[in-house]
Amino acid sequence: MATFIQLLVAGIAIGLIYALCALGVNIIYKSTKILLLAGGGLVLMPAYIAWVFVSWEAFPPALAIIVTFLLSAVLGWVLYRTTQHPLIGQPLLAPAICTTMLWFLLRGVTFLIWGGNPRMFPSWLAGRDVLHFGPVNIPEVTVVALVACALVVAVLMLYFKYSRGGLAMRVTAESHTIAEILGIKVRRVFGNAWVICLLLFAVAGILTGAITGISQDLDMIGVYGIVVALLGGLESFTGAIVGGLLIGLAQTLVGGYLGAKLGGGIAEVVPFIIIWLVMYWRPYGLWGLVRIERI
Amino acid sequence: MGERPCGVFNTRYEQDRAILRTRWQWALFIAFLLALIVLPRFMSSHLLYLGIQISTTIIAMLGIQLMMGYTHQIHLGLAGFVGMGAYGSSLLTYHLGLNFFPAMLAGGLLAAAYGLIIGTSALRVKGLYMVIPTVSAHFIFFYLVNEIFKKWTFGTDGIEAATPSIFGFTFNSDLSYFYLVAAIALIMGILARNLVRSKIGRAWVAIRDNDLGAECLGINIFYYKLLAFAVGNFYAGIAGSLWAHYVGYHNAEFYGIQDTVYYAAFTIVGGMGHIMGAVFGTLFWRVLGEGVNYVAPIVQDILPSTISANVGAAMGLIIFALVVIVFLVLEPRGVAHRWEIFKRSYRLHPFSY
């Protein structure tokens, strides 16, 4: 029972991190209609940037995190302006493939600068303590990740519900034409979407880095984020969160209980099997919009 | 399609159907064949290696061109299917001692069968949603090879692939293997070119342009989508089998996620919906790869020593990504589109616009 609860908590934590990535993919898809496949790189780059500032002794810790988010936001805007803005209006495949290339670009750049050795955050960010609840042992950092993810999701919801920027984004998601008529600068909304997306990926990258350490393998988080976004439905925030929890729990539980029988690789492959099977049942994801098409 | 050269008029149906219409085209084609036969004799072993690599890649790119370019079934897991074909044939030759040629066909059929299993989800999803079943296929392939069938595939240790031989002749030199691969690539290319202008190809194009419209015209979408998946992945399997038996040894690491993405990316760079697009894409890819191999040591000398150790692995990723992004931004329709424009303006020469 203790093992089960430990796996459950770990699964929820990793699931919420996937959900953050999926929300990033969702926001880009809803506003620009482009499937973001760059998740891997968008997790790696902010995580390494954070590592540079956080492990820099002379830098105040709180400022390090703020600077990381600022740089991530700038990165998001630059990536949008240089690679996606010129492709507006092209067939949707070209920008999607362009984003996979962004993944490779960021992966290459991080590997060039920081190499393949895994890095660790200093202990104030990646707490090494283990909390004991009777027989259940839960690493402190997992709890931090849980709380942080929940907070980010709450802030995002409030932003979309009450702020002007969020309102503009919801209108743009509904229809580009209507948004233009209402005087919303759609292209600026696209840029905002990329910035918000990068911030979400930065949170996901930093939290995963705190749990597992930072290495090139971190980019699988972004890939699972895409899987989760499609599992939940590309238009749905609920879907992203529920899908993230589903995939995270499935991964940790299957890896924990069946890993010995089916080989260690099962934990990596189980999200892909789940999404492939779900595609038969609900092709547009669990909460996705079923489009009615006419000729 | 496109315009015919000036002054060429079709008076018989055979002329209308021909791929090579004019004497010049025949002359160029024969010159190309002669060059293909004669030139390799004077090429260095590195150039032959490159030639074999390009020929096998062209086969796989033809496959993905049929799926992505002609049927609009986005395929982001091709390396998995290439690996499926390679494992199919190498397992048969290693464990059962089968001859290479039937084993190659079996490898292709295995990849096609895997494609059918994955492709059944194509009934319900379309367009960019196809990314996920195909990427899943890629990762499931890794799991199958490294964990489930470890007893036969030897997991990450890799498996030997026998050198092909037929009627006592062994293709053990680079030159003979190049002829074999080039001949197969040529046959597969002509096959693909003819396939896409047959009834099947027209059905595929109809599905690509508007699948609901195609269904209303009485085209069985599910059948033709699955057919595209089977044929395309058959091509991929043949390509994988040929490459594995040239190298003589392979494991699942040969078929990484990078290759998977490059197959799709260079199909777009080459140009979607053109058979020549597969050839252009492959040439672009492999020549760029050679360029990276040439540039990387130079960059390694320039950069400070703390990061120069990483250049080898990182340089390829960065240069490929940058070049493809720049290409997509500047010419999203690919090289083949430019080629068509060039041909048209050349043929209508004095009056081109």
Subunit contact A269:B143, Cβ cutoff 8 A? yes
Subunit contact A91:B332, Cβ cutoff 8 A? yes
User: Averaged over B230-247, what is the pLDDT?
Assistant: 92
Answer yes or no: is pLDDT of A127 > 70: no
Provide CB contacts within 8 A for B14, sequence distance 6+: none
Q: Which residues of A touch B153 (CB under 8 A)?
A: none
Residues 231-290 of chain A with CB under 8 A from chain B are 262-266, 268-269, 272-273, 275-276, 279-280, 283-284
Q: Does A92 touch chain B (CB under 8 A)?
A: yes
How many Å is the maximal CA-CA distance in chain A?
63
Subunit contact A268:B121, Cβ cutoff 8 A? no
Nearest CA of chain A to the CA of B244: how many Å?
24
Nearest CA of chain A to the CA of B137: how many Å?
8
Subunit contact B329:A83, Cβ cutoff 8 A? yes
* ipTM field: 0.87
| Pairing verdict, β A130-133 and A136-139 | antiparallel
pLDDT, residue B352, reads 62
Question: Nearest residue on chain A to B124, judged by CA atoms?
Answer: A283
Subunit contact A101:B314, Cβ cutoff 8 A? no
Answer yes or no: is pLDDT of B254 > 70: yes
Q: What does pTM read for this prediction? A: 0.89
Model confidence at A143, pLDDT cuts 50, 70, 90, reads: confident
Question: Nearest residue on chain A to B118, judged by CA atoms?
Answer: A276
Residues 115-174 of chain A with CB under 8 A from chain B are 115-116
Query: Tens of pLDDT along A106-122?
Result: 988 888 888 778 888 87
Subunit contact B321:A101, Cβ cutoff 8 A? yes
Q: ∠ CA(A201), CA(A204), CA(A209), 5° rounding?
A: 125
Question: Nearest residue on chain A to B332, judged by CA atoms?
Answer: A94
Q: Which residues of B touch A108 (CB under 8 A)?
A: 314-318, 321
CB–CB contacts below 8 A, A to B: 147
Of B136, B261, B321, the CB nearest to A272: B136
Q: Is A167 or B18 the better-scoring residue by pLDDT? A: A167
Q: Is A66 or B8 the better-scoring residue by pLDDT? A: A66
Best A101, A103, A109, A215 member to test B by mutation, with max B CBs in 10 Å, is: A101
With pLDDT > 90 as the criterion, what percentage of chain B qualifies? Answer: 25
User: Averaged over A131-146, what is the pLDDT?
Assistant: 79
Query: Tens of pLDDT along B162-203?
Result: 777 778 777 778 888 898 999 999 999 999 999 988 999 999
Subunit contact A275:B132, Cβ cutoff 8 A? yes
User: Averaged over A233-238, what is the pLDDT?
Assistant: 84
Subunit contact B212:A102, Cβ cutoff 8 A? no
Model confidence at A295, pLDDT cuts 50, 70, 90, reads: low
Question: Nearest residue on chain B to A101, judged by CA atoms?
Answer: B321
Answer yes or no: is pLDDT of B1 > 50: no
Give me the long-range contacts of B121-126 (CB less than 8 A, separation at least 24): B121/A276, B121/A279, B121/A280, B121/A283, B122/B73, B122/B222, B122/B225, B122/B226, B122/B229, B123/B221, B123/B222, B123/B225, B124/A279, B124/A280, B124/A283, B125/A279, B125/A283, B125/A284, B126/B72, B126/B73, B126/B211
Q: Which residues of B touch A95 (CB under 8 A)?
A: 328
User: Averaged over B227-246, what is the pLDDT?
Assistant: 92
Subunit contact A279:B133, Cβ cutoff 8 A? yes
Question: Nearest residue on chain B to A114, judged by CA atoms?
Answer: B307
C-alpha dihedral (B183, B188, B194, B197), degrees to nearest 10: -150
Q: Which residues of B touch A86 (CB under 8 A)?
A: 329
pLDDT, residue B95, reads 85
Nearest CA of chain A to the CA of B116: how many Å?
14
User: Averaged over A45-49, what is the pLDDT?
Assistant: 91
pLDDT, residue A262, reads 74
User: Averaged over B204-225, what is the pLDDT?
Assistant: 89
Answer yes or no: is pLDDT of A243 > 60: yes
Answer yes or no: is pLDDT of B2 > 60: no
Subunit contact A226:B132, Cβ cutoff 8 A? yes
